[in-house]
Each structure stands twice: as C-alpha cells, then as structure tokens.
Amino acid sequence: MAENKAPIEHALVRNTVRLQAGPMPDNLNSTGTGFFYQVTHPTTNDAKVLILTNKHVVRNASFVHFVLSTAPSVMDLNEEHQPKGRTDHPTLWPLIGNLIAHPDPEIDLCAIDITIPFGQHLQAGRQLRSMCLTSSWLPSVDDRRNLRDIEQVMVIGYPSGLWDSHNNMPIARRGSTATHALARYAGKQHFLIDVAAFQGSSGSPVFTYESPMFRQPDGSFTPGTKVNFVGIVWGVIERTVTGELQAIEIPSASRQVPVLQSSLNLAIALQADAVLAIDELIFPGITAIRAAQSA
C-alpha cells in the first residue's frame, strides 16, 4: 500500500513558529512570527536550519523563546490530525552568536541559527513536526513571468499573538495581493497584500495559493494546488486621526497601547527574494555556485 502523502497545506502551517523575544529570559516583551528555513550548500551538503523573522521583532533582545514539536513519526496522526506521541519542547535560545541580520539596513529581515537544538532532537531519534522552506519555494523563472497583478495569497502567523497553544499551531488567513508581488511598492522591495495584520503578525510568510484548481498562463485550469513563497509581512498601512496615511512596522511589544490609528487592512510584505542575501551570508559564494549549476 502506498504511503499517504501529506497535502501541501500541512507544510504551510507547520512552517511557522511563535516567537517571544526580550532582553532577559524573564522579560520577553516582544511577540512575533518566525518561519523555518534551511540553507544547504550545493556541493558540500552542509546545512543550516534557521528561523527567519523581522529585525524589529528581536530588536534590543538577547533571548528568543519558541516551541519545537517532535514525535516518533510525524505522519502517524491521531483523530485530531496531530502526530501520535507528540511532545512540545519550549526552547529559550540566546541571540548572541546566533543572530544574522540582512546586510541592507532598510530590509527588515534577520535569521536565527537554530541548527543545534534542531539537530539535537533529530539525534535523539525523534521527528520534528517542522517543515523548512528553502530557496526552491521562490517562484521559478516561468512563475515570475506569469505572476498576475492580483493573486490569491495565504498568510500564516500569530495575529495579536493568537495561536493554538494546545497543539502549537498557527493561524492561517486568506487574501489577495493589493499590488503586484514583484513590483517595488513606493520604490522599495515591498508589496501590499489585502490581509489584516496585527501585533504578532510580523515575520509571517506570504504564499501565493491556488486550490483546488490553478490557472495556467494560457488561462486554462489544472486540478491541484499551486504554492509559491513570495513575501514576509513586516508592516501595515494605517490612517492617523488627522487622515494621513502611514506605513509603519507592526508593533511587537506585548504591552497594551492606546490605538490612535485606524487600519486599512493592508499589510506590507517584504519581497521573498530578500532571503537570498541570507543564503549568501550563511555560505559565501553560494549564489555564484547556484548560477553555475543552473547555466
């Protein structure tokens, strides 16, 4: 009998992790979303497992807290569609020596190296219920050429810090691109999505998502699900009490603050190609090696 294949939606919701960060282990005053990302060297097969998120989520922080879930087999599910024998592992991880910031100060993206705790669970004979994105999830050349002005998108994260704490699972939201995902909104490496974003949404991955049919370049439809990783949420467009429109970072502070702005339900996403600079920081020269292999 053929082994059941998990749907791609399982990978999407198992890709994210809720982050709490702060200056001290007992003072984690920032909440946000991270997502698992793996970089593998094309020739040596050396690999690093990272959590990607926004710089402002971990700004002025020395520690980050997250929960990893393991099980004997992540494919052996119970009636609640959770792995049988699942164990959650709260992890407090130092940022000093493990934080890698995108080299462009205007790009709100950073990586946290979690290769050690990730590997420790694997060495213990457990499977991690965590799916890592790689650069292969970025749109291909053909997909980029055929990307439309309006695309359906899926955003996975922890809006307002909300999560399924019992199952260590995120919240998935549907929407659409509000500007073209490859066009530089306001001249920066950003685009807009028509999805409400709140405190805790910072760092949420954005995927183009078509199901149960996806459209071909000629307008025909094919049964199945088509997904590409296209962005990372970092901010929102808000209207102030004076009517001025502003692009602001999504607040990550856990404390309650007075709200003097009204949301337009427009989130700002960093274009996902920005992760390639992280790949280059992890393994210098990887960009040139990939280009040579694809030539």
For residues 130 and 43, membership in a common domain is answered with yes
- Residues 124 and 157 occupy one common structural domain: no
One domain, residues 112 and 168: no
Identify the pLDDT of residue 295: 76
Asked if residue 5 has pLDDT above 50, the reply is yes
- Please state whether 212 falls in left (phi above 0), alpha (psi between -120 and 50) or beta: alpha
Q: Assess whether 104 and 15 both reside in one domain.
A: yes
Is residue 1 one of the residues assigned to a domain? Answer: no
CA–CA gap between residue 144 and residue 32 (Å, rounded): 29
Beta bridge partners of residue 88, listed in sequence order: 69
**63 and 151 assigned to the same domain:** no
143 contacts: CB under 8 Å, gap ≥ 6 = 228
Give the range of the structural domain holding residue 145, as residue numbers without chain letter: 136-273
Kindly state whether residue 284 falls inside one of the protein's structural domains: no
What is the Cα–Cα distance from 213 to 201, expressed in whole angstroms? Answer: 28
Q: Which of 82, 106, 134 is the last residue of a domain?
A: 134
Residues 147 and 268 in one domain: yes
Could you tell me if 148 and 180 lie in one domain? yes
Position of tokens 């004076």? Answer: 242
**Model pLDDT, residue 253:** 53
pLDDT digits (tens, 9 = 90+) for 126-174: 999 999 999 999 999 999 999 999 999 999 999 888 899 999 999 999 9
As a whole number of angstroms, the distance between CA 163 and CA 181 comes to 27
Residue 98 has pLDDT above 90, yes or no: yes
Among 134, 160, 184, the domain boundary falls at 134
Threshold 0.85, pTM exceeds: yes
> pLDDT above 70 covers what percent of the chain?
89
| pLDDT for position 4 | 55
Integer CA distances (angstroms), 260 to 167, 240, 242, 250, in order? 34, 7, 10, 14
CATH number of the domain encompassing residue 268: 2.40.10
pLDDT, mean over the chain? 89
Shared domain for 81 and 202, answered yes or no, is no
Residues 130 and 144 placed together within one structural domain of the fold:
no
Same domain as 237, residue 212 = yes
Residues 140 and 260 in one domain: yes
Same domain, 92 and 145: no
pLDDT at 215: 87
Taking CA 184 as the corner, what is the angle to CA 158 and CA 273, rounded to the nearest 5 degrees? 60
Does 242 have pLDDT greater than 50?
no
**Which tens digits make up the pLDDT trace of 210-234?**
999 998 888 889 999 999 999 999 9
Number of domains in the chain: 2
Residues 83-107, mean pLDDT to the nearest whole number: 97
For residue 50, the SS3 value is strand
Q: Is 228 helix (H, G, I), strand (E, B) or coil?
A: strand
